[in-house]
Structure 1
Amino acid sequence: MSRHLSQTIHLIAEELSKDEWKRLSFLCGVTDTECPSFDVRRMLMSLMHQKGLDETFLMELMFKMRRYDILRSVLNTNRTEVERMLGNNHVLSEYRVLMADISEDMDTDDLKSLVFLLSANFPRERLSKIKSLLDVIVELERQDQMSCERMDLLEKHLRAIQRTDLARKINRYQQRGAGNVEMGNAVTYREYSQNSVDEYRMRSKPRGVCVIIDCVGIDGAYWNKTFKCLHFQVITHKLLCVRETLATLKDVARRREHYWADAFICCVISRGSATDLLGIDSHGPGLNLDTVKHLFTPECCPGLAGKPKLFFIQSYEVPRPQRCYGGAGYYDYRDADLETDGPVTSYGVETVPANADIFWSHCWTNEHQLEDQNHHSVYLQALCTSLLKGQKRKMNLVDAHMEVNRKIYEHNAKETGAKYSINLRHTLRKHVCLS
């Protein structure tokens, strides 16, 4: 090995943390890194000498580890150039690259849950040494329970801990029958394009309008911060009566931004019942929830035709409001109340079913909880956490909401006097990823 190449390996090793050493070794197919005399420098030198590999291999390693700074400072290249140079010619096993990427996407709680489910598969002395998903994979490989052709066990357990985003990556890999298995001779293998999941477009800046109507005044800020992080234009209204709430929603439905947006979100915190919202009103007819939904259907809001419309409602239950008899009343939807702007026919409204593309998440709990000055909605906090986690993991919204359901279930099991009920319905025709 040339002196220059040895020096390059030394400089790279100096830039990597111990965890990155382990990841690099895993990518190279070297898993016995616990030996006291193990040195990543000697391992790389020996491997490259045996296989006749050159500096291009080091570039591939740093590229797959996302250490683009090392590409620049040590290898005198950049991400774009390496990506172009590699093309479909790779030395690293696609299976090991996939496992290393999945390991990076798992947090500590996910790892603990996974290890708990797999604990019966591991010798007791090995459990305490597991620090990352790579350790789990190495142990499963040792027991011949996992390989590039046998990944069902890991996929099943990832789904069990609600990491369906990672399980889908494994499933796609297995379906396309990918790649070279281990680092043997330097080989060329075909990069298969992933079967893209049918998703709603989510690229506009901002993604769309998010209207928040907080008629209680304690938790709206959580939603405000969350949906700004999700790249929505947030409009907040506080402490509205029913008449003002209806007028506000009608005004939002007429906004021209919908034509250029990719999605719409409506969030409401209010006293009410399972079917109506009261706002700050203490009595009288409520605003029917079906009316709220109908205001944003294609016939009423053509700019949102074919686009996902997401509704998140937190109700604090009071005795059911009395509906107006003998007529619709001003709190119900009437076609004459709405004005529409824009080229309706150009959006093909007629071809989109009126109730399509709706995600409806409605949670309700007893109004008495508001008597606690320290009260915060369990639903709302769980939702915000789940949406932000889903953004990071590029999860489908329906899958991300499963975490909200779990938090509600756990809360109800502990707090029998302050239970929450939740109703999730949707007519989405594609996946929603709020990335």
Structure 2
Amino acid sequence: MTKCQVPSALIHQIEQELDKEEDELMIFLCRDLAPDLATANLRELLTALNEREKLSLFGLSELLYRIKRFDMLRRILKTEKATVEANLARCPRLISNYRVLMAEINENLEKEEVDSLVFLLRDYVPHMKMGKDKSFIAVVVDLEKLNLVAPNQLDLLEDCFQNIHRIDLIRKIQKYKQEAIMSSVHSQPVYVNALQASLPNLSLIDPLYNSGVSVNQEKTQNRQICESVSCEKQEMFDDQYRMQSQPLGICLIIDCIGNDSYVLEETFRDLGYEVHCFRHLSIDTMDKKLREFARLQKHRNFDSFICILVSRGSPQSVFCTDETFPGFPLERVKKYFTADSCPELLGKPKLFFIQSYIVPENEQGGASLLEVDGNDDSIISNAKTPWKVAIPQVADIFWSQCKVDVSALERSRSSSSYYLRCLAGLLRNPHKRKLSILDIHTELNREVYEWNKTIDPSQQYSLLLQHTLRKKLFLSPT
């Protein structure tokens, strides 16, 4: 009897939780592993791979990672996204780079763009059955069957992406080609161009005597390829904040209402952040927490920082659980994490999302403003390096504040903030998550103001966005 590495109950649980698109994508990722099972459903495919000892718990974790089901990694396989990424960096991978590339492209295409691709492909495959609701993955499978698309044959897709003006996807393909060529210098080539396809006996490690290219010339060409890849990467990321650290940064959540922290924790943990959540804090305790997190030296290892505050207050301050006027100034919250106070975050994006439940002035308690050291010497003293740089101290801030009357809580004390609910929904949507943070906030504005049309004016939300970002920011690894 063949020894199976993964319990059948585990395969059943995973297969039951995936939706139709995720099911299709996982089958696509496994196509190379069992070519004889091209028409099998996911359960049959995973079971066959398991029986053939091609599937392991690590392979299963890679599959869930590739389809972005980080929640299932934690709940079912008891592992984290960062752990899987670390294993993928040092262990043999189950899925080929080509299939990973196609999955990434699939995630970055809107339905309208796929429809355009289907239309364009009629010029190349007029007799091919192309349904209107066909997914990009299904299109690729059909093209593979006709030998029009393969790991070493992507020119057709490049032409199509050129026609729909998706230059970013062409760059992805070109990057894949160049990396494949570079890796083939010491192995068999993964990608071959049109000239090599017409000369099947030649490889990138063969002296190209027949084409008149010497070994030294070939070495020069390979070096030029490396330099080209390096330059392209530099050009691609010069206008973007680096988001590659694991985790991406610390996400500090202070929820003094208690209705939103759970969904926010899960959302930002899935995005790759180290989440710390505190509920129902007093002003004094919140100040201590802010100072504590501003002092953390490990910010230097991370690429960003996020702070989320949910509290009653005034437009300029938060009351926490004290509900006293004027409360804790929001400006001081921001100051704790600017470069002069927290030099470990210099040049890195710092995002603040504030849900303020505004208490009318006639209902605010007696004055009790927290006294703080105006120079924040205790924080600045942690900086061991004189930060003489050209970046303004208040740069790289993204400040999103939503205000609503406190009566919104009084109507239903368990109701969540529509602003934060929409934010979490957009960040969990794989298609919206690929947008820059400014574009995501535009979508957030649209949803909130559409909501405002349906409710009483006294319950409407008001959004304010201020930022000093110097580059494009995507809340995903780049």
* Smaller-chain TM-score bracket: 0.5 to 0.7
Identify the residue that residue 168 of structure 1 maps to in structure 2.
168
Indicate the percent of aligned positions where both proteins have the same amino acid: 31
**Distance in 2 separating the partners of 1:209 and 1:230:** 11
SS, match of residue 339 in structure 1: helix
The structure 1 residue matched to 2:293, chosen from 239, 242, 252, is 252
Aligned to 1:73: none
2:107 corresponding residue in structure 1:
105
Give the Å deviation of 1:313.
0.9
Q: Distance in 1 between matches of 2:281 and 2:392?
A: 31
Deviation, 1:335, is 0.9
Name the SS of the counterpart of 1:257 in structure 2: helix
Gaps of 5+ in 2: 1-30, 43-65, 67-91, 123-128, 143-155, 179-191, 205-221
In structure 2, do the counterparts of structure 1 residues 298 and 133 end up closer, same or farther at CA, with 3 Å as the change threshold? same
- The yes-or-no answer on 1:154 pairing with 2:154 is no
Question: Which residue pairs with 1:130 in the alignment?
Answer: 133
Query: In the alignment, residue 169 of structure 1 is paired with which amino acid?
Result: L
Q: What is residue 243 of structure 1 aligned with on the other side?
A: 284
Per the TM alignment, residue 393 of structure 1 is displaced from its structure 2 partner at its CA by 5.6
Deviations 1:114-137 (A, max 9, x none): 58999999x9xx996432247899
Deviations, residues 79-105 of structure 1 (Å, cap 9, x unaligned): 69987xxxxxxxx9xxxx999556621
- TM-superposed CA distance for 1:395, in Å, is 4.4
The one-letter code of the counterpart of 2:134 is: K
| Aligned-partner Cα distance in 2 for 1:296–1:402 | 25
Q: CA-to-partner distance for each residue in 1:151-206, whole Å, 9 max, x for gaps?
A: 566348xxxxxxxxxx733577799xx9979x995799998745522333334343
Which residue in 2 is equivalent to 1:434?
Answer: 476
- After TM superposition, give the deviation of residue 215 of structure 1 in Å: 0.9
Q: Does 1:295 align with 2:336?
A: yes
Give the aligned partner of residue 32 of structure 1.
none
Secondary structure of the residue aligned to 1:398 is: helix
Residues 278-332 of structure 1 deviation map (CA, whole Å, 9 limit, x = unaligned): 212333212222111111112211222222211111111222598999xx95356
Residue by residue over 1:249-303, the C-alpha shift from the partner in whole angstroms, topping out at 9 and shown as x without a partner, is 1222122222333322111001123222121233321222211111111221122
Equivalent position SS for 2:262: helix
SS in 1 for 2:250: strand
Which of 5, 10, 14 pairs up with 2:36?
Answer: 14
Q: Which residue of 2 aligns with 1:364?
A: 403
Please give the secondary structure, in 1, of the residue aligned with 2:469: coil
Q: What TM-score results when the alignment is normalised by the length of structure 1?
A: 0.60
Q: 1:307 to 1:153 in 2, by over 3 A?
A: same
AA matched with 1:386:
L
- Match 1:224 to one of 265, 268, 274: 265
SS state at 1:279 partner:
coil
Counterpart contact for 2:324–2:365, Cα < 8 Å: no
Contact 1:305 1:349 in 2 (8 A): no
- Superposition deviation, residue 355 in structure 1: 0.6
1:400 aligns to 2:410 (yes or no): no
Equivalence for 2:209:
none
Q: 1:263 aligns with which of 297, 304, 308?
A: 304
Match of 2:186 in 1: none
CA–CA distance in structure 1, aligned partners of residues 381 and 173 of structure 2? 46
Deviations 1:332-373, CA, capped at 9 Å, x for gaps: 661156433444326x35443111111112112221111214
In structure 2, do the counterparts of structure 1 residues 117 and 410 end up closer, same or farther at CA, with 3 Å as the change threshold? farther
Task: State the partner residue of 1:309.
Answer: 350
Shift in CA distance, 354/19, structure 1 to aligned 2, threshold 3 Å = farther
Matched, 1:387 2:427: yes
Name the counterpart of 1:44.
Answer: none
Higher relative CO (Cα under 8 Å, sequence separation at least 6) belongs to 1
Q: Calculate the TM-score normalised by the size of structure 2.
A: 0.55
Contact 2:434 2:476 in 1 (8 A): yes
Partners of 1:209 and 1:397 lie apart in 2 by 17
Partners of 1:11 and 1:339 in 2: CA distance: 54
Give CA-to-partner distance per residue, 1:215-247, whole Å, 9 cap, x none.
111111122222222333322221123333223
**Alignment-mate amino acid for residue 434 of structure 1:** S
CA RMSD of aligned residues (A): 4.8
Name the SS for the 1:384 alignment partner: helix
Where 1:210 maps in the other structure, the secondary structure is: strand
Q: Which amino acid aligns with 2:300?
A: Y
Task: Please name the residue that 1:375 is paired with.
Answer: 415
Distance 2:245 2:264 in 1: 20
8 Å CA contact 1:356–1:429 kept in 2: the answer is: yes
Q: The residue matched to 2:426 in structure 1 has which SS?
A: helix
Are residues 115 and 365 of structure 1, via their aligned partners in 2, closer, same or farther at CA, if it must alter by over 3 Å? farther
After superposition, the Cα gap between the structure-2 partners of 1:383 and 1:393, relative to the gap in structure 1 and judged at 3 Å, is closer
* Stretch moving more, 289-298 or 243-252: 243-252
Correspondent of 2:247 among 206, 217, 231: 206
CA 1:16–1:117: 2 relative to 1, 3 Å: closer
Contact 1:208 1:261 in 2 (8 A): yes
Structure 1 gaps of 5+ residues are 1-8, 21-65, 67-77, 84-91, 139-145, 157-166
